[in-house]
Structure 1
Amino acid sequence: MSSTPSQSFKSHFLIAMPSMADPSFTGALTLICEHSEEGALGLVVNRPSTLLLSEIFQQMGITTNETLYTGGHSVYAGGPVSQERGFVLHSCESNWDNCMTICSGIQLTTSNDILSAMAENRGPKQSMVALGYAGWGAGQLEQEIADNTWLTCQADPSIIFETPHHLRLNAAAKTLGVDLSLMSDQVGHA
């Protein structure tokens, strides 16, 4: 993805409106990691799966300190596309292979070197591992936003890394002064 659309939503959260009909995104908070004229890529950041990070390490043959990951660090369901593909959202202390800065305080890495470092307690201070991603074709995200499917706001690393997953959607909405519980699930335009 090379060209940037007139309004890029990279480094923004997409806040699913109560009227969201797609079950893949109902109640979802999605971080847009890339956005160009060709489309967009994002990761849902508030849906832990039943898969644990220790299981990922085991499947990949990565040796880890057993006591480090006994607390049940969940792997997140990043979206409905390529659910076997892994992504690590993390704080910005180091650069890893295949690392991209999303915004101040958030990087995205898709290489195994970061997972090996995490297993050895040499990884980033803050991280979230996800499988799968959300994708939009050319103009699709812009149309969904125009159709009131999503609210958007600037991404905040503390919402991803410091806020419990079940509170992230409302925390993002509150940055806009919005209380989602007061919103109707009916779609319309005034």
Structure 2
Amino acid sequence: MNPFKTEVEHLDGKLLIAMPSMGDPRFNRSVICICAHSGDGAMGLIVNKPAENLNFGDLLEQLAIKAARPIDGIDVHYGGPVEHGRGFVLHSRDYEAEDATLNVNETFGMTATLDILDDISQGVGPDKCLLALGYAGWGPGQLENEIRDNGWITCDANPALVFSEDHDAKWKAALDVVGIDPRMLSSTGGSA
């Protein structure tokens, strides 16, 4: 056993915070909620990048879902570079669709059906939600290697941060959770 090996913990329901050394511009200053993590890989949703020129009302119209109430203040997010046309809803655990909701942890669920969009539009969906098109995905060991290479740091996800409408402030707020001042970050990293 190597006592110096860095182990990556189980990450379901954790936030990934992109470090300045992250080489992929698609993830610059991203905050990602990890929805599933196992030996087979990981998937998560970027929670701080609203999609340009698309809101929930537009999405409902495209899907021919008639809203029973005015739909305001619900953004659609760029969830990540994989399957841009596929929708996901990260939400509070007060909502569960039978055989369709992934219980991320005790705080968050994720559902990827048209029914949840209809329920939200009818006012019977989850209390808190974040809609995303696409997701961020990693193969076996890929995310763990990126974390070891200082591309990401992790912290516990909390609903106030994840569901905040102040998307521009989420990256700094996530760093605040772990006590890091972004002005002190370097674009290079290493380990001793």
Structure 2 length normalisation: TM-score?
A: 0.90
Per-residue deviation, 1:163: 5.3
Per-residue deviation, 1:103: 2.1
> What is the one-letter code of the residue matched to 1:88?
V
Per-residue deviation, 1:188: 2.8
> What residue number does 2:172 align with?
170
What is the distance in 1 between the residues matched to 2:8 and 2:133? 30
What is the distance in 2 between the residues matched to 1:105 and 1:87? 17
> What residue number does 2:79 align with?
78
Farther-moved stretch of structure 1 (89-98 vs 24-33): 89-98
1:103 aligns to what SS in structure 2?
Answer: coil
> What residue number does 2:163 align with?
161
> What is the one-letter code of the residue matched to 1:121?
G
> What residue number does 2:59 align with?
56
Per-residue deviation, 1:121: 1.3
Per-residue deviation, 1:21: 1.5
Per-residue deviation, 1:162: 3.1
Equivalences for residues 105-184 of structure 1 within 5 A: 105-162=107-164, 164-184=166-186
Structure 2 unaligned blocks of 5 or more: 1-6
Per-residue deviation, 1:72: 5.1
> What is the one-letter code of the residue matched to 1:166?
D
What is the distance in 2 between the residues matched to 1:139 and 1:127? 29
> What is the one-letter code of the residue matched to 1:128?
L
CA RMSD of aligned residues (A): 1.6
* Distance change in 2, residues 1:158/1:104 (3 Å): farther
Structure 1 unaligned blocks of 5 or more: none
* Distance change in 2, residues 1:16/1:6 (3 Å): closer
Query: Runs ≥4 in structure 1, deviation > 6 angstroms?
Result: none
What is the distance in 1 between the residues matched to 2:8 and 2:187? 29
| Cα deviations by residue, 1:73-115 (Å, 9 ceiling, x for unpaired) | 3200000000001000111112114101112321101111111
Does the 8 Å CA contact 2:17/2:153 hold for their aligned counterparts?
A: yes
> What residue number does 2:31 align with?
29
Per-residue deviation, 1:6: 7.1
Kindly indicate whether residue 94 of structure 2 is the aligned counterpart of residue 93 of structure 1.
yes
What is the distance in 2 between the residues matched to 1:132 and 1:187? 29
Calculate percent identity across the aligned residue pairs. 40
What is the distance in 2 between the residues matched to 1:44 and 1:94? 21
What is the distance in 1 between the residues matched to 2:188 and 2:8? 29
| Cα deviations by residue, 1:139-189 (Å, 9 ceiling, x for unpaired) | 001111110110111111111113511111111111111112221112333
What is the distance in 1 between the residues matched to 2:57 and 2:9? 39
2:27 aligns to what SS in structure 1?
Answer: coil
Does the 8 Å CA contact 2:8/2:144 hold for their aligned counterparts?
A: no
How many residues matched? 184
